[in-house]
């Protein structure tokens, strides 16, 4: 008893340690000023905004169709999900009926993007524990997702895929072939990758119990996505407010229990398997039909028609010059992004650009809990916690 008192009244000297803004282990531009008691983190002061690019201000100055490239650069690990989310928001505002085929194609694209997002996160957790092999191994497979995106839209990372009302072009045979190949090859490679980490004693000892968070705390901090599910809350936007025909598919939501790094890792691993399941179902049941909805006011007509058809030319002109009528209104739409609920709050005053567009960026909201999660742990654990939360700078800073 007495000894404890002596320790607590003893004058302590804390060290201040600056982690970031540029640091190999932070995977982006985050600054943390840590107050250290020897090896133990007492507190941290976070600074963000190092790549603040003013998306919301730009969005107020761009017509609707020019906002898609901005959404690419939010969470750039899974750009297509952001693109689709934006298209669906505008479609909700306009009240467009989207053909089933487009929904299914979008689901395939979004789930591929989710895989590529989660693969980056889980392999980087591996890198931070010192396991570089899984990273090198799985990145070869990740390139195949990029190959598919490239065939679909011509870009790898910042895809700008799809248009308001549908997809810009139908998939060619090569795309189907590549997706089918992917569905056969990826699970094999991914299983091998999982074997390297999932039940690896060294890895498990390192990540179990690192940076835990309780379900109550996670909800109060506004956690969504895999990080919330790792804490044991089965909240997934794809299920609670289904969009793009997600209700047609049969899939599970993996949940964790303790919300530690291992759970976050395992939830993402589990989601990759579920994504593969969804892609398989969507591809098998892909309906025939058009790859766009009948919204000539917003969906750009094909180039051949613009050159040869008066009506198409007029629509093209109207869309590009921003003459199409947009209803007034406010709409909130959210999709399940790689990191959680990615929301779009769009206020339209009938002009060609949104009056106000706010992105609910999951990273920005849950990164607040970081000090709470790392208090009392060591620096190595802080790094792991950060990489397992998958904080993406572009999304964080908006």
Partner 1 sequence: MAELTNEYLLQKLQDQFGSDILLSEVQYGMLSIVINKDRNIDVLQWLYDNEELQFRFITDVCGIHYPDNKDNELGVVYHLHSLTNNVRFRIKCFMPVSNPVIKTATTVYKAANWQERETYDFYGIIFEGHPNLTRIMNVDEMDYHPMRKEYPLEDGTRTDKDDKYFGR
Partner 2 sequence: MSTIIQIAENPNVLEGPGFALTTLDKVIGMARANSLWPLPFATSCCGIEFMATMAPTYDLGRFGAERLSFSPRQADLLMVMGTISKKMGPVLKQVYTQMAEPRWVLAVGACATSGGIFDTYSVLQGIDKVIPVDVYVPGCPPRPEQIIDGLIKIQELVKHESLRRRNSDEYKKLLGSYGIE
Residues found near partner 1 in the complex (CB under 8 A) = 48-49, 52, 54, 56-58, 60-61, 92-93, 219-222, 233, 235, 240-241, 329-332, 334, 341, 343, 345, 347, 356, 358, 360, 364-365, 367-369, 397-398
Closest approach of partner 1 to the CB of residue 269, in Å: 25
User: What does 195-215 look like in DSSP terms, one character per residue?
Assistant: HHHTT-HHHHHHHTTSS---H
Closest separation in Å from C-beta 230 to partner 1: 16
* 365 binds, options partner 1, partner 2, none, Cβ within 5 to 8 A by partner type: partner 1
Q: Which does residue 165 touch among partner 1, partner 2, none (CB within 5 to 8 A, set by kind)? A: none
- Name the strand (E) or helix (H) holding 343: strand 341-348
Q: Cβ closer to partner 2: 42 or 155?
A: 155
Q: In angstroms, what is the minimal distance from the CB of 153 to partner 2?
A: 14
φ, ψ for residue 99, nearest 5 deg? -60, 150
Which one of partner 2, partner 1, none is in contact with 29 (Cβ closer than 5 to 8 A by kind)? partner 2
- Residue whose CB is less far from partner 1, 257 or 368: 368
**Shortest Cβ 325–partner 1 spacing (Å):** 17
Cβ distance to partner 2 smaller for residue 111 or 397: 397
CB 97 to partner 1: min, Å: 14
Choose the one of partner 2, partner 1, none that binds residue 136, judging by a C-beta under 5 to 8 angstroms depending on kind: partner 2
**Smallest distance, Å, CB 137 to partner 2?**
8
Segment 86-90 long-range contacts (CB within 8 Å, at least 24 positions apart)? 86/344, 87/162, 87/163, 87/164, 87/165, 88/243, 88/244, 88/333, 88/335, 89/331, 89/333, 89/344, 89/346, 90/64, 90/164, 90/298, 90/346
Helix axes 173-197, 133-153, angle to 10 degrees: 160
Q: Cα–Cα distances in Å, from 169 out to 37, 151, 163?
A: 58, 11, 9
Instruction: Please give the Cα distance from 170 to 76 (Å, whole number).
Output: 24
Q: Compute the least distance from the CB of residue 105 to partner 1, in Å.
A: 24
Residue of 358, 353, 363 lying closest to 331 (CA atoms): 358
* Contacts of range 192-200, beta carbons closer than 8 Å, 24 or more positions apart: 192/137, 193/123, 193/134, 193/137, 193/138, 193/141, 194/269, 196/126, 196/131, 196/133, 196/134, 196/137, 197/122, 197/126, 197/131, 197/134, 197/265, 198/266, 198/269, 200/131
In terms of CB distance, is 160 or 309 closer to partner 2? 160
Structure tokens at 43: 């507190």
Which option in partner 1, partner 2, none does residue 38 bind, with CB closer than 5 to 8 A by kind? Answer: none
Give the number of other Cβ atoms within 10 Å of residue 1's Cβ: 4
Interacting residues toward partner 2 by CB under 8 A: 21-24, 28-29, 49-54, 57-58, 69-70, 72-73, 76-77, 120, 135-137, 139-140, 142-143, 146, 156-158, 393-394, 397
Residue 352 binding: pick among partner 2, partner 1, none (C-beta 5-8 Å cut-off by kind): none
393 binds, among partner 2, partner 1, none (CB under 5 to 8 A by kind): partner 2
CA 256/CA 270 separation, integer angstroms: 10
If the CB atoms of residues 217 and 378 are measured against partner 1, the closer one turns out to be 217
Choice between 127 and 253, CB closer to partner 2:
127
Q: Which does 272 bind (CB under 5 to 8 A by kind): partner 1, partner 2, none?
A: none
């Amino acid at each position: 008893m007495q000894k404890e008192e002596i320790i607590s009244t003893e004058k302590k000297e804390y060290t201040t340690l600056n982690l970031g803004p540029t640091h190999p282990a932070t995977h982006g531009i985050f600054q943390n000023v840590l107050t250290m008691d020897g090896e133990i983190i007492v507190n941290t002061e976070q600074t963000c905004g190092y790549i603040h690019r003013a998306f919301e201000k730009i969005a107020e100055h761009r017509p609707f169709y020019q906002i898609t490239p901005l959404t690419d650069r939010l969470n750039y690990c899974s750009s297509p999900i952001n693109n689709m989310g934006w298209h669906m928001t505008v479609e909700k505002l306009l009240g467009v009926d989207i053909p089933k085929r487009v929904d299914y194609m979008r689901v395939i694209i979004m789930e591929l993007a989710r895989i590529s997002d989660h693969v980056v996160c889980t392999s980087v957790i591996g890198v931070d524990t010192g396991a570089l092999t899984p990273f090198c191994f799985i990145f070869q497979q990740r390139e195949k997702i990029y190959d598919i995106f490239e065939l679909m839209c011509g870009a790898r990372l910042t895809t700008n895929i799809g248009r308001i009302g549908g997809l810009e072009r139908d998939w060619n045979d090569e795309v189907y072939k590549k997706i089918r190949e992917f569905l056969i090859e990826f699970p094999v490679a991914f299983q091998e990758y999982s074997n390297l980490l999932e039940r690896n004693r060294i890895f498990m000892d390192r990540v179990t119990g690192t940076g835990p968070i309780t379900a109550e705390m996670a909800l109060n901090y506004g956690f969504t996505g895999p990080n919330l599910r790792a804490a044991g809350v089965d909240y997934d936007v794809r299920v609670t407010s289904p969009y793009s025909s997600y209700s047609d598919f049969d899939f599970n939501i993996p949940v964790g229990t303790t919300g530690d790094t291992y759970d976050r890792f395992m939830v993402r691993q589990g989601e990759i398997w579920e994504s593969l399941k969804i892609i398989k179902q969507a591809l098998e049941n892909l309906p025939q039909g058009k790859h766009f909805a009948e919204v000539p006011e917003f969906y750009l007509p094909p180039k051949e028609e613009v050159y040869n058809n008066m009506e198409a030319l007029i629509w093209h002109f109207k869309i590009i010059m921003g003459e199409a009528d947009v209803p007034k209104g406010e709409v909130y739409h959210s999709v399940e992004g790689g990191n959680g609920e990615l929301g779009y709050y769009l206020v339209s005053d009938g002009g060609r650009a949104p009056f106000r567009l706010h992105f609910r960026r999951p990273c920005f909201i849950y990164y607040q809990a970081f000090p709470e999660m790392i208090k009392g742990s060591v620096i190595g654990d802080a790094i792991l916690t950060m990489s397992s939360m998958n904080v993406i700078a572009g999304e964080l800073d908006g």
